[in-house]
Chain A
């Protein structure tokens, strides 16, 4: 392939999304789950910016939404790490399988 099209970027975003989703599902460490969330958000961001580049209609919107996603990811990481540290203080573990007190 000689010319890089939109599909190549979307494929990269899809790969990051799948890796992140599997990371969220498989990791037993709570911080590993958080890393999966970051990967998913990055895949979405790649899609946003790629569409901003290849579709002149969304030239600004794509980048603006990518910036919003980055800020939201910062907020989410701060809160999630605070929760994980609290959980670690109370239970002395970060294994998400042991967080089952709310089981019905």
Chain B
């Protein structure tokens, strides 16, 4: 077992167990802490997959931003009975059954046949590697960096169509404006209400 494999199993076990702990812990504050570990482990998985920029973004936005929001939400609403909300035993049984069935269905539908090392040229050849510079060029609208490989996974016999070169400048702008609008809306929704009859 080489180093990469060992590292993957450690991070995967850490992430999966933390995700299960988010589900089973009854205390909402502990759930938030386990969620922190899950998100960090996911960032580790992204690093293992060679997606540096996505992993850094995951750490910055999820762990640094969303989780802080969640913790603030917990602190603002955690009063007495809301910290631990018990769930009945019957609901646990039903949920575990449904969850195991869903996990089994997802497991048997795994594509299989992909048990292979990924094309290693992308990792070793810097010109072809998927680094953040290529990602930035795609977001800037340069469509020449999109790989031109044929589509795979088509039904047998059919000819793979040529791919249209696309870039992601417009979706990037849309998503930026969307985020701005949403944050303004959230600030408006959560503002402090002015009470009637009280001069302020």
Q: CB within 8 Å of B: which residues of A?
A: 1-12, 14-23, 25-29, 31-32, 34-35, 38-39, 42, 45-46, 49-50, 52-57, 59-60, 63-64, 66-68, 70-75, 77-79, 81-86, 88-89, 93-95
Given contacts A28-B85, A45-B42, A59-B130, 5 further A-B contacts (CB under 8 A): A7-B112, A25-B98, A38-B66, A53-B51, A94-B77
Interface of A, secondary structure class, is helix
- A71 neighbours in B (Cβ, 8 Å): 61, 175, 178-179
State whether B147 touches A15 (Cβ < 8 A): no
- Asked if B116 is at the interface of the complex by the 8 Å CB criterion, the answer is yes
Interface of B, secondary structure class, is helix
* Band of interface residues on B: 35 or more
- Asked if B107 is at the interface of the complex by the 8 Å CB criterion, the answer is yes
Q: How many A-B residue pairs have CB under 8 A?
A: 234
Instruction: Determine which of A9, A23, A46, A60 lies in contact with B147 in the assembled complex, contact meaning CB atoms within 8 Å.
Output: A60
A-B contact pairs, 9 of them (CB 8 A): A5-B114, A7-B112, A11-B110, A31-B32, A63-B51, A64-B168, A67-B53, A85-B76, A95-B82
- Asked if B152 is at the interface of the complex by the 8 Å CB criterion, the answer is yes
Instruction: Determine which of A5, A66, A78 lies in contact with B116 in the assembled complex, contact meaning CB atoms within 8 Å.
Output: A5
- B138 neighbours in A (Cβ, 8 Å): 60, 64
Instruction: Determine which of B5, B135, B151 lies in contact with A4 in the assembled complex, contact meaning CB atoms within 8 Å.
Output: B5
Q: Roughly how many angstroms separate A38 CA and B38 CA in the complex, as a whole number?
A: 10
Q: Roughly how many angstroms separate A57 CA and B61 CA in the complex, as a whole number?
A: 27
